[in-house]
């Protein structure tokens, strides 16, 4: 195999004399270039040994191979500094994503080492002229030779003299330090393992482009159920938390995950009973423990029609807390616009009514026995609040007070219809019948390292409301803190629903804020979607890391995937679960990555016993005998029954 040594490996061992040439009768001079500044030696007894080529102005890649070369630069196709073809040596092979390296000798200059990734491979008969010749060749009546060739896309040139490789130049398969140099891993000060390449060797993510140092945000695209978008997102989070690449920032970081499909993400802290030895070995190769997330808090909405506020989950029965908003919070925090969270809503004239009513509620609503009081009337539920607003808007005497004098009845009726339609969806989330002092708010700063918000049992309007309000609250808290630490990773699937390319909405504005300003505040968006072409362009553009799983053929043809080489676009149509194509700024070619099977349970059937810390919810954490709905030290008036 070909190997490359960096300038840091200055003490190559040759025989028993480290760093020194062997005796003349035991040595072969392999390279005597660059004015005798350095010499590359091997011994006749061991041809694996390499002497480092190191120069004060650059880091050279020295190539040695214990076996035959994998190929030579093709002479029948144009070779350029950025792309060339290599003929594959008979008996050898190159596959897509292999990393190779070659060297160009220059007169009166140091040699240039050119490394690259295989982006296409072909095989053909040399000596055949017609398509039908293949039959004669197979029968042995027509002489021909099968020749394979591989297209190489350059990833690194050392030193930076952009000259083409010479036809006939030896090409080696890169491994070890050679591979790291070719893929720029040697230049990454903080490397986050994200899986292995096609060669089974770890592949890394540059932390500088994830934590906001030089870039931030991740965009993951692929077909639902096949592309394993959420699984890859959670694996990257796990690697951030457990690899140690981010140091204290990784230890102190928080993650906010919205679970929108099934209850798959409710068992992140449970071991996966289907983990086998090969999967454990894969984690060991990445220097990661094969264990579940250690610190997880799960929130779920109250069951519909349940006056006690029981979490609406079926598979996980312990360690789940209920989230909701009180009527007082709904008015004081100006949350009404998030009821109208569809992008289409912002194009309607009744948005003026929305903002007028929001301001009126914020100004005049006062707390009253768990609910609110407004206009001298006590309101104890979201349904009552909606009825009261509609009543005031349809009354000629009070309409101008609530909505302004320039609003006509047609606009008011359009607003009223949408508001009335929200009663069934949001009644269980906006409450006046549950204790206010009971913990019910989603606050990552006061929660566990990983906070999972379960939305899968909520209708679409309610999901939009929860996502919008939660992100708004978290982003405002980061703004108040005025610091980018601790980091907050936000994992949101179905991003095209919350931030569509067309239209505007309160949720979309929050997500745009995160994409454009979140980097400086330490808020990192990991967005997943089936179709990046339907997501707001500025969000995709601001994502330093772009990831693609299996794609739909029509979607793969869209310009949003222009960063994928043509062959890789075709491969994205065939990618199996667990295979992703990752593009990051400091590597010219996207990398094919295979990440290991999750060490945490992804469904109830895989779930092992949970750690003791997750057996109780926040409500019961202080006192195991606390009545659901009460809080440590609360009075009987706080009990909702």
pLDDT by residue (tens digit) across 111-141?
999 999 999 999 999 989 999 999 999 999 9
Q: Which of 282, 193, 281, 177 is nearest to 238 (CA)?
A: 193
Higher pLDDT, 559 or 436: 559
Residues 435-439, mean pLDDT to the nearest whole number:
71
Per-residue model confidence (pLDDT) at position 44: 36
Determine the pLDDT at residue 363: 92
Where in the sequence of the chain do the CATH 3.40.50.300 domains occur?
191-321+441-554+591-621
The rounded distance, in Å, linking the Cα atoms of 529 and 494 is: 5
Question: Where does the pLDDT of residue 483 fall: very low under 50, low under 70, confident under 90, or very high at 90 and above?
Answer: confident
Q: Does the pLDDT at position 631 exceed 90?
A: no
Distance between CA atoms of residues 545 and 519, nearest Å:
13
How far is the C-alpha of 167 from the C-alpha of 144, rounded, in Å?
A: 22
Q: Say what percent of the chain tops pLDDT 70.
A: 83
Question: pLDDT class for 613, splitting at 50, 70, 90?
Answer: low
Instruction: Read off the pLDDT of each residue in 612-637 and give the average, rounded to a whole number.
Output: 45
- Whole-number pLDDT of residue 203: 95
Instruction: State the average pLDDT over residues 143-147.
Output: 92
Instruction: Please list the alpha-helical segments (H only) found in 150-308.
Output: 177-182, 229-242, 248-252, 277-285
Give 3 or 565, the one with higher predicted confidence.
565
Give residue 227's pLDDT: 67
Q: What are the DSSP calls for 13-43, one per residue?
A: EETTEETSPPPGGGEEEEE--TTTT--EEEE
How many C-beta atoms surround the C-beta of residue 280 within 10 A? Answer: 15
**Residue 477 pLDDT exceeds 50:** yes
pLDDT above 80: residue 13? no
Question: Does residue 407 or residue 429 have the better pLDDT?
Answer: 429
Separation of alpha carbons 572 and 567, rounded Å: 9
Residue 384's alpha-carbon distances to 327, 388, 391, 452, in angstroms, are 10, 6, 10, 31
Question: Residue 636 contacts by C-beta under 8 Å, 6 or more apart in sequence?
Answer: none
Q: Does residue 620 surpass a pLDDT of 60?
A: no
- 10 Å CB burial of residue 507 (0-12, 13-18, 19+) is buried
- Alpha carbon dihedral 275, 276, 281, 287, in 10-degree steps, equals 10
Looking at residue 35, what is its pLDDT?
32
Region 420-430: mean pLDDT is 92
pLDDT of residue 432: 87
Average pLDDT over residues 432-438: 75
Contacts of 55 (CB under 8 A, 6+ apart): 7, 34, 37, 38, 110
Confidence of residue 612 (pLDDT cuts 50, 70, 90): low
Q: Helices 351-364 & 409-421, crossing angle to 10 degrees?
A: 70
Q: What is the mean pLDDT of residues 279-300?
A: 94
pLDDT for residue 436: 66
Q: Are 386 and 420 in contact (CB under 8 A)?
A: yes
Top pLDDT among 435 and 413 is at: 413
Q: Beta-strand (E) ranges in 290-379?
A: 296-300, 320-322, 325-326, 366-368, 371-374, 377-379
Per-residue confidence (pLDDT) for residue 150, from 0 to 100: 96
SS3 call for 379? strand
Q: What is the pLDDT of residue 517?
A: 92
Task: Kindly tell me if the per-residue pLDDT of 271 is higher than 80.
Answer: yes
pLDDT reported for residue 342: 72
Q: Is-contact 337 422, C-beta < 8 A?
A: no
**Per-residue pLDDT at 615 exceeds 70:** no
- Is 604 exposed, middle or buried (CB count within 10 Å of its CB: 0-12, 13-18, 19+)? middle
Q: What is the DSSP letter of 173?
A: E
SS3 category, 550: coil
What does the buried/exposed string (b/e) look like for 81-111 if buried means 16 or more CB atoms within 10 Å of the residue's CB? bebbbbbbbeeeebebbbbbbbbbeeeeebb
- Ordered alpha helix ranges (H), 257-365: 277-285, 327-332, 351-364
Is residue 440's pLDDT more than 90? no
CA distance 543 to 210: 9
211: β partners = 216
The average pLDDT across 87-97 equals: 94
Q: What is the pLDDT averaged over residues 451-455?
A: 95
273 pLDDT above the threshold of 80: yes
Residue 179's nearest CA partner among 591, 639, 536 is 591
Q: What average pLDDT is seen over the chain?
A: 83
Pairing of strands 377-379, 371-374: antiparallel
What are the distances in angstroms from CA 356 to CA 46, 142, 333, 473?
83, 86, 14, 21
Q: What is the pLDDT of residue 299?
A: 95
Question: Between 474 and 8, whose confidence is greater?
Answer: 474
Answer whether residue 301 shows pLDDT above 80. yes
The single-letter DSSP state of residue 231 is H
pLDDT at 323 over 90: yes
Q: Are 291 and 617 in contact (CB under 8 A)?
A: no
Rounded mean pLDDT of 471-500? 91
Alpha carbon separation from 522 to 247, 250, 465, 488, 538 (Å, rounded):
15, 12, 23, 6, 18
Write out pLDDT tens, residues 186-210.
999 999 999 999 999 999 999 999 9
Closest C-alpha among 48, 177, 196, 195 to residue 115: 177
**Beta carbons within 8 Å of 516's beta carbon, 6+ residues apart:** 538, 542
Phi, psi at 153, each rounded to 5°: -100, 120
228 band by pLDDT with thresholds 50, 70 and 90: confident
pLDDT interval class at 516 (50, 70, 90) = very high
Q: Exposure pattern of 574-584 as b/e (b: 16+ CB <10 Å)?
A: ebeebbbbbbb
Distances (CA, A) of 128 to 85, 136, 144, 625: 21, 9, 7, 84
* Phi, psi angles (nearest 5°) of residue 42: -135, 155
Q: Give residue 263's pLDDT.
A: 84
Rounded to the nearest 5 percent, the helix, strand and coil shares of the chain are 30, 25, 45
pLDDT for res 403: 82
Average pLDDT on 155-175 reads 94
Compare 438 and 331 and report the one with higher pLDDT.
Answer: 331
SS3 381: strand
Examine residue 159 and say whether the peptide bond preceding it is cis (omega within 30 degrees of 0): yes
Cα 399 from Cα 389, distance rounded (Å): 10
Residue 566's H or E segment, with its range, is helix 566-572
Which of 289, 291, 256, 251 has the alpha carbon at shortest distance from 270? 291
Q: Coil, helix or strand for 133?
A: helix
Q: Considering only the top CATH level, what class is 191-321+441-554+591-621?
A: alpha beta
Q: How far is the C-alpha of 446 from the C-alpha of 27, rounded, in Å?
A: 66
pTM of the predicted protein model: 0.82
């Amino acid at each position: 195999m070909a190997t490359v040594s960096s300038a840091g490996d200055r003490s190559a061992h040759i025989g028993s004399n480290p760093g020194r040439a062997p005796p003349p009768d035991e040595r072969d001079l392999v390279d005597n270039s660059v004015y005798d500044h350095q010499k590359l030696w091997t011994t006749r007894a061991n041809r694996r040994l390499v002497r480092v080529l190191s120069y004060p102005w650059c880091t050279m890649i020295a190539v040695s191979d214990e076996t035959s070369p994998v190929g030579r630069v093709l002479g029948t196709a144009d070779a350029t500094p950025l792309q060339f073809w290599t003929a594959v040596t008979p008996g050898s092979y190159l596959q897509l994503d292999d990393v190779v390296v070659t060297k160009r000798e220059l007169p009166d200059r140091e040699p240039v080492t050119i490394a690259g990734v295989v982006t296409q491979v072909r095989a053909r008969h040399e000596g055949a002229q017609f398509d039908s010749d293949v039959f004669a060749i197979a029968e042995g009546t027509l002489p021909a030779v099968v020749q394979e060739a591989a297209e190489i896309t350059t990833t690194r040139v050392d030193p930076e003299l952009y000259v083409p490789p010479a036809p006939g130049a030896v090409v080696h398969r890169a491994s070890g330090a050679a591979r790291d140099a070719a893929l720029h891993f040697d230049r990454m000060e903080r490397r986050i393992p994200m899986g292995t390449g096609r060669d089974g060797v770890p592949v890394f993510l540059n932390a500088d482009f994830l934590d906001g140092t030089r870039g931030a945000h991740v965009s993951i695209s692929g077909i639902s159920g096949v592309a394993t978008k959420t699984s890859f997102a959670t694996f990257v989070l796990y690697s951030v938390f457990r690899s140690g690449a981010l140091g204290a920032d990784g230890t102190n970081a928080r993650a906010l995950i919205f679970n929108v499909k099934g209850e798959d993400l409710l068992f992140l802290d449970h071991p996966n009973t289907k983990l086998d030895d090969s999967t454990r070995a894969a984690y060991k190769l990445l220097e990661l423990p094969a264990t579940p997330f250690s610190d997880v808090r799960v929130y779920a909405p109250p069951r519909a029609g349940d006056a006690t506020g029981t979490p609406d989950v079926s598979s996980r029965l312990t360690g789940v807390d209920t989230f909701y908003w009180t009527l007082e919070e709904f008015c004081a925090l100006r949350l009404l616009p998030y009821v109208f969270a569809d992008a289409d809503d912002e194009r309607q004239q009744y948005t003026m009514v929305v903002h007028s009513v929001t301001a009126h509620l914020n100004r005049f609503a006062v707390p009253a026995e768990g609910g609110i009081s407004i206009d001298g009337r006590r309101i104890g539920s979201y349904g009552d609040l909606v009825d009261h607003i509609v009543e005031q808007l349809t009354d000629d005497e009070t309409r101008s007070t609530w909505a302004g004098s320039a609003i006509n009845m047609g606009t008011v009726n359009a607003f009223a219809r949408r508001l009335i339609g929200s009663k069934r969806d949001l009644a269980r989330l906006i409450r006046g019948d549950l204790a206010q002092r009971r913990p019910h708010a989603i606050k990552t700063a006061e929660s566990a390292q990983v906070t999972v918000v379960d939305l899968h049992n909520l209708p679409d309007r309610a999901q939009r409301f929860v996502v919008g309000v939660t992100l708004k609250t978290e982003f405002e808290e980061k703004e108040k803190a005025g610091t980018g630490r601790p980091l907050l990773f936000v994992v949101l699937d179905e991003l095209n629903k919350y931030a569509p390319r067309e239209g505007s909405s309160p949720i979309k504005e929050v997500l745009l804020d995160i994409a454009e300003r979140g980097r400086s505040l330490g808020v990192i968006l990991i967005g997943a979607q089936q179709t990046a072409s339907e997501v707001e362009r500025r969000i995709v553009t601001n994502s330093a890391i772009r990831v693609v799983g299996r794609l739909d053929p029509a979607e793969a043809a869209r310009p949003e995937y222009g960063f994928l080489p043509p062959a890789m676009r075709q491969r994205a149509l065939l990618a199996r679960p667990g295979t992703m194509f990752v593009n990051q700024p400091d590597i010219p070619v996207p990398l094919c990555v295979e990440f290991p099977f999750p060490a945490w349970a992804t469904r109830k059937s895989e779930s092992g016993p949970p750690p003791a810390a997750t057996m109780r919810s926040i409500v019961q954490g202080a006192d195991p005998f606390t009545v659901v709905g009460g809080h440590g030290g609360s009075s009987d008036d706080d009990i909702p029954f």
